[in-house]
Amino acid sequence: MLVGRRRSELEQAVATIGARASLVAHDITQLEKAGDLVRAAETAAGAPVSILVNNAGIHLKKAAAETTPQEFQAVLTTHVCAAQALTAVVLPGMMERKHGNILFTASMASLFGVPLVLAYSAAKSAYLGMVRSLASEVSGRGVRVNAIAPGWIESPMLLQALSGDVARQNKILGRTPMGCFGAAEDIGNAAVFLCSPAAKFITGVVLPVDGGASIGF
């Protein structure tokens, strides 16, 4: 079940994934409508939510001294507040059924300092606290809570960001022991693993999927 603000983008993704995919167009920053979103998703799927992936986000690359409170709050609302609102809605049903998975998409910015992304780093670092607190609270009731911290994944956005910036690209690859960018499938495979029975004794972890960047020199 794909959720996003842009229906046209969702429709393209659903067509690519195939018949088992469906969509709900929704803006998750409308926190008071989190319950409406979950009910719409469950109606469309014909089943209760068993996996919630808190993956939505926005980016802000700006010097800390120039970041306004409004900009800072907008990033936190999308990443942190929306994730909390959706998690609060799905948790009761998951705990009643004694089965569920909540997965957060963290970041390298959760693990080490990245300049010019103060708001983004704050939001992604907040995920780590949310994962640990939630896991300690609900894992005994059948709900596992984990996070993935993607490294640099090859995508149109990354390629655009690195276009003409050979020094930055070399810096990234130089601290990545595997010496290459990741693929979208690497993140998807990790997500499937963490939400599958193969990870039934794993909760409260943050799994870097980064080619070793978080431990590279």
Of 1, 24, 109, 120, which residue is the catalytic one?
Answer: 120
The predicted structure's pLDDT at residue 82: 98
Q: Are 150 and 170 in contact (CB under 8 A)?
A: no
Which option is the CATH number for 52-209: 3.40.50.720, 3.30.930.10, 3.40.50.150, 3.40.605.10?
Answer: 3.40.50.720
pLDDT at residue 210 greater than cutoff 80:
yes
pLDDT at residue 50 greater than cutoff 90:
yes
Write out pLDDT tens, residues 14-37: 999 998 999 999 999 999 999 999
Q: Is 120 a catalytic residue?
A: yes
Question: Could you tell me the CA-to-CA distances from 121 to 57, 76, 125, 199 in Å, in that order?
Answer: 12, 10, 6, 27
Task: Report the SS3 class of residue 52.
Answer: strand
Give the pLDDT mean for 179-202. Answer: 97
Give the pLDDT mean for 112-125. Answer: 94
pLDDT band (50, 70, 90) for residue 161: confident
Task: Report the SS3 class of residue 104.
Answer: strand
**CATH 3.40.50.720 domain residues, the chain:** 52-209
Mean of per-residue pLDDT scores for the chain: 95
Residue 51 CB neighbour total at 10 angstroms = 18
Q: What percent of the chain has pLDDT over 90?
A: 87
Question: Could you tell me the CA-to-CA distances from 64 to 60, 68, 109, 126 in Å, in that order?
Answer: 10, 9, 15, 18
pLDDT at residue 186 greater than cutoff 90:
yes
The predicted structure's pLDDT at residue 214: 94
